[in-house]
Structure 1
Amino acid sequence: MGTVAVQLAAARGITVVGTAGEHDIERVTALGATAVRYGDACVERVKAAAPQGVDVVFDASGAGVLADSVALTGDSARVITIADMAAAQHGVRFSAGGADPADDSLAQLVRLAATGELDVPVWRAYPLGQAAAAHGDIEARRNRGKVVLLP
């Protein structure tokens, strides 16, 4: 869902439209985004929520939305994914992490966490020996929050 990305953008005053399942609409709204239900006709709902247009799309779902994301922004260079391995097929950048030293996002995250303004919901914690079960839950999209592995 991009929970942290939504909070960082909202804290910077950026207008965020976040897509979510019906059960997560309230949570996405509480994070500071205009929530839009994903699924059929999602593109039309996003356009209605952002009549001024969409500048950038950050895909954290890997749910096969890259073609629609490029259509929404009008330019594959304005779409980035951290979850969809088909990025290259759409001309979209895939980011595997790595921070720009000039970017103050980490410092901002620390400030938000220190003041209690950063919400990172934990869905379930698993002992390390159950890592395969945890991964299975993530792949099946059963989790509604972060999955934590414990030593």
Structure 2
Amino acid sequence: MSIYDFTVKNIDGEDISLSKYKGKVLLIVNVASKCGFTPQYEGLEKLYDKYKDKDFMILGFPSNQFSNQEPGSNKDIKEFCQLTYGVSFDMFAKVDVNGEKEIPLYKHLKSEASGILGTKNIKWNFTKFLIDPYGKVIDRYGSITKPKEIEPEIKRLLGL
């Protein structure tokens, strides 16, 4: 099973098969608008701008599971991201990344790349999963890892 086997809803509520990203290096991030790490949107957008023409995409999944830091509607989240950070990478509908209602994609991501000390659960907003062009989960990065710190690995996967 690869990430291409999953279908998710985008921020506008449309079903999107992740197979549309075949051949791209992906960075999948659970995001939030009212978090201490929210300024990472800026770094994510810079990475996306730099490599989007080289088969790189960021997929943002808002989640309200951490201290109620993403309370808004999908429409509110989309407006905030575009107006505050100029986000142009793909954003998806608000989801659960842990627990009973977690989406199957996150269950898969967590089974492929555990966190520190082998933990499966996402600990906080802005946990990042790096996916190779074949849909394989390469690595998992915690919230404190800034997007620019992942750039060397992204470049390697892109063959740059």
Larger radius of gyration: 1
TM-score normalised by structure 1 residue count: 0.29
- Larger proportion of helix: 1
